[in-house]
Amino acid sequence: MLGISVNIFVVYLLFLSKQIGANELTFELPDNAKECFHEKLKVGSKYTLEFQVVTGGNYDVDLELKSPSGRVLYKEAKKQYDQIEKTAEEEGVYVFCFSNEFSTISHKVIYIDWRVDGDPEHEIKGNSPQVAQGALTMIESKVGGIHENLEKVIDYQTHHRLREATGRARAEDLQERVQIWSLGQFILIIIVAIGTVLLLRSFFTDRRPASSMSWHR
């Protein structure tokens, strides 16, 4: 009982000493808009930013990552997806901005995965009561390995889901457009057919009998 209390307390202390954060967000970036996110980081924190444009236009967006002192750490234009892994060298507020200012008509849906120092909120670390040191550590390391592999599986699943979402959004857009344009064309054909006939009739009906009679003289 006391051992577990100490265990939990050590885990708490571990959390206090580290900056934590793991966030998966999908948001819509309207055309001509810029969206910025900030986070305060300590020196030595490892952070990972992954983004992917899910739907919209040419599937590209500008990204800029700045350190607290204003130094540009990453600046790329019109990228579809990328992964940035860095270690914080300065303490302060880091900001990354997505920009869709080059596009005037298409709004984009962007998925971001922001991780700081892994995700200790649901990682389990601590000094376990060492009963049988050798055997316990081997099981623990195996379990730890399985955990990491499962994390990778979940990551791959997320990427698969995003790509499928892109394809599906395009297919649904196509379906709608086929319907609307086909209907429009159908109506246009009918209008043009009737219009041609009416136009021809109008050539032969206004003040023509008199002139045609004079013609055939």
Partner 1 sequence: MGNQSFQFLVFIVLQLILTTQALYFHIRETERKCFIEEIPDQTLVIGKYKVELFDAASNTYLPSTPGIGMHVEVKDPDEKIILSKLYTSEGRFTFTSHTPGEHVICLYSNSSAWFGGQQLRVHLDIDIGEHAVDYQQISAKEKLTELQLRVRQLIDQVEQISKEQSYQRYREERFRATSESTNQRVLWWSIAQLLVLVIAGFWQMRHLKGFFEAKKLV
Chain residues 143-162 in contact with partner 1, contact rule CB under 8 A: 143-144, 146-147, 150-151, 153-154, 157, 160-161
197 binds partner 1 (CB under 8 A): yes
Structure tokens at 95: 């900001």
Q: Does 6 bind partner 1 (CB under 8 A)?
A: no
Pairing, β 21-29 against β 81-87: unpaired
Residue 10 binding partner 1, by CB under 8 A: no
Stretch that binds partner 1, among 57-65, 66-74, 76-84, 121-129 (CB under 8 A): 121-129
CA atoms of 78 and 98, how far apart (whole Å): 10
Closest by CA position to 99, among listed 76, 66, 115: 76
Q: Which of 152, 158, 156, 148 is nearest to 124 (CA)?
A: 148
Q: How far is the CB of 178 from partner 1 (least distance, A)?
A: 5
| 24 touches partner 1 (CB under 8 A) | yes
Nearer to partner 1 by Cβ, of 53 and 109: the residue is: 109
Q: Which residues, at least 6 apart from 125, have a Cβ–Cβ distance to it below 8 Å?
A: 11, 14
CB 104 within 8 Å of CB 37: no
In angstroms, the CA 38 to CA 81 distance is 20
Q: With binding defined as CB under 8 A, does residue 129 bind partner 1?
A: yes
Question: Considering only residues 37, 74, 81, 102, which one is a binding residue for partner 1 as defined by CB under 8 A?
Answer: 37
Say which amino acid occupies 150.
L
Residue 176 near residue 169 (C-beta atoms within 8 A) = no
Taking CB under 8 A as the rule, which mask of x and - marks residues 162-181 in contact with partner 1? --xx-xx--xx-xx--xx--
Contact 62, 102 (CB under 8 A): yes
Number of residues counted as binding partner 1 (CB under 8 A):
72
For residues 68 to 97, the per-residue mask of contacts with partner 1, x marking binding by CB under 8 A and - elsewhere, is ------------------------------
Task: Give yes or no for residue 35 binding partner 1 (CB under 8 A).
Answer: yes
At closest approach, how far in Å is the CB of 193 from partner 1? Answer: 4
